[in-house]
Chains A and B, each alone.
Chain A
Amino acid sequence: MNFEISKDPIDIQSVIDKVVQREAGAITTFIGTVRELTHGKKTLYLIYEAYESMAVKKLEQIGTEIKERWNGAEVAITHRTGKLDITDVAVVIAVSTPHRADAYEANRYAIERIKEIVPIWKKEHWEDGEEWIGNQLETVAYPKGEPEAKDLNE
């Protein structure tokens, strides 16, 4: 189970352990955490919600894409759901490859793809309100049926 959605806090080391391999010369680990300030606005906490069965499939797809692009890569991703406080770990991505450049690149690819195709949403709670994030203003349309690279800034 290299690709998981977890309601419980993520054990970072256990995600890393899944990609340990004798062929690897590098493991990169990305830890996504809950930020307090976004454009000056103070977040109190977040709620993450997932379409869990599809989210796991899409995480697996990202793993497959990485293995096709970076030879010898191993990938593990766990994404948290539920209520998260400031500094809590929302996502952990571990990638191992024979050489370090690939491990960095492939890990970056994984987080960008998560923000494109994995059905997970966050609801921000502020002192003065709450809102589902994901372009609620509907200023971004997806003519190709899925987001494109330019839509992925956060």
Chain B
Amino acid sequence: MNKIMFFAHLRDSVGEESVTKDVSGKTIAELKQMLAEEYELKLDSVMAAVNEEFASDDEVIQDGDTVAFIPPVSGG
């Protein structure tokens, strides 16, 4: 299983801080497409992190990975 985390406006859109799904074997791009359809999100410009490290769209998700979607940041 995988924990999928949402922040900022994505969390507001999804209505949850995180969801648990089995998405192992999918690439980040495939997961983005799946979530975009399920929750009507725009994820094109959103970064992803796998286990707290930025991940590219072609990275394959492994069982147990935590995936977080990181909208453009605005700290500082």
Bound: A142/B46 CA distance, A:
8
28 contacting pairs across A/B (C-beta < 8 A)? A49-B7, A49-B8, A51-B5, A51-B49, A53-B52, A57-B52, A79-B75, A90-B76, A91-B75, A111-B76, A115-B75, A120-B75, A121-B8, A121-B74, A121-B75, A122-B74, A132-B9, A132-B12, A132-B71, A134-B8, A134-B74, A135-B72, A138-B45, A141-B44, A145-B54, A145-B56, A146-B47, A151-B72
Closest chain B residue to A112 by CB distance?
B76
Residues of A115-146 at the interface with B, using a CB-CB cut-off of 8 Å, are 115-123, 132-136, 138, 140-142, 145-146
Contact yes or no, B73 A117, CB < 8 A: yes
Q: Does A50 contact B (CB under 8 A)?
A: yes
Residues of B1-33 at the interface with A, using a CB-CB cut-off of 8 Å, are 5, 7-9, 12
Contact yes or no, A54 B49, CB < 8 A: yes
Q: Does B70 contact A (CB under 8 A)?
A: yes
Bound: A121/B57 CA distance, A:
22
Main DSSP-derived SS at the B contact region: loop
Size bracket, chain A contacts: 35 or more
Size bracket, chain B contacts: 20 to 34
Contacts A51-B52, A57-B52 known; list 15 others, CB within 8 Å.
Answer: A54-B52, A54-B68, A91-B76, A119-B7, A120-B76, A121-B7, A122-B74, A122-B75, A132-B71, A132-B74, A133-B74, A134-B71, A145-B47, A146-B54, A154-B76
Interface residues, chain B, CB within 8 Å of chain A?
A: 5, 7-9, 12, 42, 44-45, 47, 49, 52-57, 68, 70-76
